[in-house]
Amino acid sequence: MLHLVGQDSRALARALGVDLADARRVLGAVVGRGRPLREARNVRRAVLDLVEARCSQARLSRVAVADAQDGFRKYLFQLPDGARVEAVRIPLFDTHHTLCLSSQVGCALGCAFCATGRLGLTRNLEPWEIVAQFLEVRADSARPITGAVFMGQGEPFHNYEAVLQAAYALCDPAGGRVDQRRISISTAGVVPMIRRYTAEGHKFRLCVSLNAATPEKRAALMPVERGYPLAELVDAVREHAARRGRVTLEYVMMGGENVGEEDAAALGRLLSGIPVRLNPIDVNDATGRFRPPSPDEWRRFRDALARHLPGQPVVRRYSGGKDEHAACGMLASTVS
């Protein structure tokens, strides 16, 4: 059975054999305005009956909400089978929000610095379970949600079809109405899916979690390196950049681990000739194994990056919501 909110309007029209205009009106009501199906305007009763018969309208159950001191809000949801996932609402400029979405229950990759990786993988999310996170948070928000990032629980490219289906539902003018350019899909480096994503020509922003510039150091932090080596990953990034322009690379900074002069020099060699935007962000590790860089470490690393990556934008991302375990790398299906 289809789930109504997991479809973009063209997919819904094809699946049900209805006119595109009717599909858009249905999604406009249920996803665009968050109203019950029967409140869709100018849709024949026969079409509504068909949608009701063929489409599930199951919902997520909100278990808890946690408000961090800096305005980040974490939502813990329970799925129909009892599994739990989180989404994080991120405040932007006191006028709107972006939303960090989960794509899996847990994660199979086991990155050393990530709480979600320590959970292991339970299952993939269905497209509707991803879109429903957006709808539930939007209903709880006075400000508009104008962006979405697939950076919550899970490796999005291990749930490729569902993530893309959900992303198109979010950007559908009759659905979530989020600009495609404000939807980011992050991957730890699943090379075959990066190549597929590039070949298919999707317009969502691709973000790649790099975190180290040598195979040895990256393998110690990210087991995915053993399956998809750094050289192959950089080739895939180079190909994407050639077709789509500058690629965003995420870099989790760990004091004493990956923020030295030698790390900046290795990044310069690795990324030579590739237009990238490097987004360093502090590690968040409740176990205490890793720590963020000190102010002096960050200044030295920033200056070294300016020397070794000349002309490439380096933008330090703010890691918010730490006090409620809502920050990057801290999602573990719990509330404090």
Angle between the N-to-C axes of helices 45-54 and 20-27, in degrees from 0 to 180, rounded to the nearest 10? 70
The secondary structure element, H or E, covering residue 15 is helix 9-16
Q: Which domains, and CATH codes, for the chain?
A: 2-56 (no CATH), 61-324 (3.20.20.70)
Residue by residue, DSSP assigns 32-101 as IS---GGG-TT--HHHHHHHHHHEE----EEEEEEE-TTS-EEEEEE-TTS-EEEEEEEEETTTEEEEE-
Q: How many C-beta atoms surround the C-beta of residue 82 within 10 A?
A: 7
Total residue count of the chain as it appears in this document? 336
Place of tokens 């979010």: 170
Mean pLDDT of 92-109: 96
For residue 100, the model assigns a pLDDT of: 98
The secondary structure element, H or E, covering residue 278 is strand 276-282
Contact 66, 324 (CB under 8 A): yes
Mean pLDDT of 203-209: 97
Contact 128, 136 (CB under 8 A): no
pTM equals: 0.95
For residue 135, the model assigns a pLDDT of: 94
Burial of 17 (0-12, 13-18, 19+ CB in 10 A): exposed
Mean pLDDT of 117-143: 96
For residue 303, the model assigns a pLDDT of: 98
- Candidates 113, 137, 272, 248; CA nearest to 182 is 248
For residue 321, the model assigns a pLDDT of: 96
For residue 68, the model assigns a pLDDT of: 97
- What's the whole-number average pLDDT of the chain? 95
Mean pLDDT of 302-318: 96
For residue 57, the model assigns a pLDDT of: 81
Q: How many C-beta atoms surround the C-beta of residue 269 within 10 A?
A: 10
Instruction: Return all residues near 170 (Cβ < 8 A) that are at least 6 apart.
Output: 131, 134, 148, 176, 178, 183
Contact 246, 303 (CB under 8 A): no
For residue 145, the model assigns a pLDDT of: 96
Over residues 216-252, the pLDDT tens digits come to: 999 999 999 999 999 999 999 999 999 998 999 999 9
Instruction: Return all residues near 278 (Cβ < 8 A) that are at least 6 apart.
Output: 249, 251, 267, 305, 309, 312, 313, 314, 315
Contact 53, 36 (CB under 8 A): no
Contact 39, 45 (CB under 8 A): no
The secondary structure element, H or E, covering residue 104 is strand 104-106
Q: 247 has which bridge partners?
A: 276
Kindly indicate the confidence band of residue 179, based on its pLDDT and cuts at 50, 70 and 90. Answer: very high
Q: How many Cα atoms sit within 13 Å of 253 on the Cβ side?
A: 26
Mean pLDDT of 88-117: 96
143 secondary structure, DSSP code: S
Q: Which residues are catalytic?
A: 86, 328
Q: Distances from the Cα of 78 to the Cαs of 63, 83, 332, 333, in angstroms?
A: 6, 6, 13, 9
Over residues 258-298, the pLDDT tens digits come to: 999 999 999 999 999 999 999 999 999 988 999 999 999 99
Q: Are strands 96-100 and 145-150 parallel, antiparallel or unpaired?
A: parallel
Contact 42, 36 (CB under 8 A): no
Over residues 45-78, the pLDDT tens digits come to: 999 999 999 988 888 999 999 999 999 999 999 9
Kindly indicate the confidence band of residue 336, based on its pLDDT and cuts at 50, 70 and 90. Answer: low
